[in-house]
Amino acid sequence: MSGGAVLGFLAAAALAAAPSPRRFPRRGVMEGFYGRPWTWAQRRDMVAWIGAHHGNLFVIAPKDEALQRRLWRKPLGPSYLRDLRALAGYARRRGVDLAWELSPGVDFRAGRADEDAAVQKLESVADCGVRRLILAFDDTPARLSQVEFANAVLGRLLAARPGLELTFVPALYWGQAAGTPYLDHVARALDSRFRVGWTGPQVLSRAITARDGASFRAYMRHGLVLGDNYPVQDRVEDAGPLFLGPVRGRQPGLAQSQDAYLANASPLEEASKIPLASQLAYAWNPAGYDPDAFWSRQLAAARKRSAGEAAFLAAAERSWLDLPQTAPMALSAAGFSPFLRGLLLAPEAFADRPALRRELAPWLERAREEAQAVLKPRRGRPATSENPAVVAGFAIDALAQGRLPLGDAARQAFSAGARGRLELDRALRLLASADAAANVGSRRAWGEELSPWSWILAEDARRARAALGGSWISGSSWESLAWRWRARAALLPLLACRRMMDGYLEDPANAKTAAADLPWLLRAAVWRERRRFGRASFAAGLQDELAAGDAAALGRRFEAMIAWARELRRPGVPQAAWPWLFKVEDYGRAGLLALKRRKGRWSAAEEADWRRLGRRLRSGNGLEEAVELKLLLDGLARWGRDPGRPFVLPWPAQPQDAL
CATH of the domain at 238: 3.20.20.80
Q: Which residue has the higher pLDDT, 534 or 247?
A: 247
Same domain, yes or no, for 212 and 106?
yes
Convert the pLDDT of each residue in 333-348 to its tens digit: 556 778 888 999 999 9
Residue 290 DSSP one-character state: -
C-alpha 39/C-alpha 28 separation (Å) is: 18
Say what the pLDDT of residue 413 is.
44
* pTM, full prediction: 0.76
Say what the pLDDT of residue 613 is.
83
Same domain, yes or no, for 575 and 514?
yes
Q: Of the spans 183-192, 503-512, 625-634, which averages the highest pLDDT?
A: 183-192
Same domain, yes or no, for 227 and 320?
no
When pLDDT is cut at 50, 70 and 90, the band that residue 485 belongs to is low
In-domain check, residue 648: no
Cβ atoms < 10 Å from Cβ of 458:
20
Domain finish residue from 261, 289, 317: 289
In-domain check, residue 622: yes
What is the extent of the structural domain holding 356?
298-403
When pLDDT is cut at 50, 70 and 90, the band that residue 9 belongs to is very low
- CA dihedral of 30, 33, 35, 40, whole degrees rounded to 10: 10
pLDDT at 270 over 90: yes
Convert the pLDDT of each residue in 137-173 to its tens digit: 998 888 999 999 999 999 999 999 999 999 999 999 9
Q: Which residue has the higher pLDDT, 353 or 203?
A: 353
C-alpha 625/C-alpha 582 separation (Å) is: 12
Count Cα atoms within 13 angstroms, Cβ side, for 207.
10
Say what the pLDDT of residue 241 is.
75
Nearest one of 654, 617, 631, 649 to 234, comparing CA atoms = 617
Domain finish residue from 289, 324, 359: 289
In-domain check, residue 413: no
Convert the pLDDT of each residue in 74-95 to its tens digit: 999 999 999 999 999 999 999 9
* pLDDT, the chain, mean: 79
Q: Which residue has the higher pLDDT, 603 or 310?
A: 310
When pLDDT is cut at 50, 70 and 90, the band that residue 350 belongs to is very high
When pLDDT is cut at 50, 70 and 90, the band that residue 639 belongs to is low
**Helices in 18-172 by DSSP H: which ranges?**
40-52, 78-93, 112-126, 145-160
Q: Which residue has the higher pLDDT, 238 or 122?
A: 122
Same domain, yes or no, for 521 and 460?
yes
Same domain, yes or no, for 47 and 145?
yes
- 255-281 mean pLDDT: 97
Q: What is the CA radius of gyration of the chain?
A: 26
Q: Which residue has the higher pLDDT, 193 or 405?
A: 193
C-alpha 579/C-alpha 620 separation (Å) is: 13
Q: Which residue has the higher pLDDT, 401 or 545?
A: 545
Same domain, yes or no, for 353 and 280?
no
Q: What angle do CA 342, 344, 349 make, to 5 degrees?
A: 70
Same domain, yes or no, for 144 and 285?
yes
C-alpha 172/C-alpha 340 separation (Å) is: 44
In-domain check, residue 13: no
pLDDT at 658 over 60: no
In-domain check, residue 3: no
